[in-house]
Amino acid sequence: MNSSFNKLLTFKTLITASMIVLFSINLLLTERVDALSDSRQLVLDAWTLVNEGFYDPGKFDEIQWKRIRQKTLQKQIETSEEAYSAIEDMLRPLDDPYTRVLRPKDYELLKSSNFGSEINGVGLQLGEDDANNVKVISTLGGSPAEEAGIVSGDLIETVDGISSEKLGLAGTASKLRGESGTKVLVELSSESGEIREVDLERRSVDLRPVRTKRLRDDSHTIGYLRITQFSESVPKKVEEALQELKEKEVEGLILDLRNNSGGLVSSGIAVADSLLSEKPVVETKDRNGIKDAIISQKETSFDGPMVTLVNKGTASASEILAGSLQDNERSILMGEQTYGKGLIQSLKSLGENSGIAITVASYLTPKGNNIQGQGMTPDKILDLPDTSDYGSTDDKWVRNAELFLGSLLEKEEVSAQTIELNYEEIKS
Backbone φ and ψ of 77, nearest 5°: -130, 90
Return the bridge partners of 120, or none: 204
Residue 335 region by backbone torsions, left for phi larger than 0, else alpha for psi between -120 and 50, else beta: left
Closest CA to 339 of 320, 352, 353: 320
- For the question of residue 106 being annotated catalytic, the response is no
- Contact yes or no for 94/54 (Cβ under 8 A): yes
Q: How many CB atoms lie within 10 A of CB 10?
A: 10
Q: Which of 331, 341, 362, 395 is catalytic?
A: 341
- For the question of residue 411 being annotated catalytic, the response is no
- Contact yes or no for 369/351 (Cβ under 8 A): no
What is the DSSP pairing of strand 155-159 with strand 183-189? Answer: antiparallel
Q: How many CB atoms lie within 10 A of CB 148?
A: 18
Closest CA to 321 of 215, 226, 211: 226
Backbone φ and ψ of 333, nearest 5°: -100, 135
CA angle 283, 288, 293 (to 5 degrees): 15
Q: Which of 113, 164, 267, 316 is catalytic?
A: 316
Nearby residues of 373 by Cβ (< 8 Å), 6 or more positions away: 130, 340, 342
- For the question of residue 316 being annotated catalytic, the response is yes
| Torsion sign over Cα 181, 182, 185, 190 | negative
End-to-end CA distance of the chain: 140
Q: Indicate which residues carry an active-site annotation.
A: 316, 327, 341
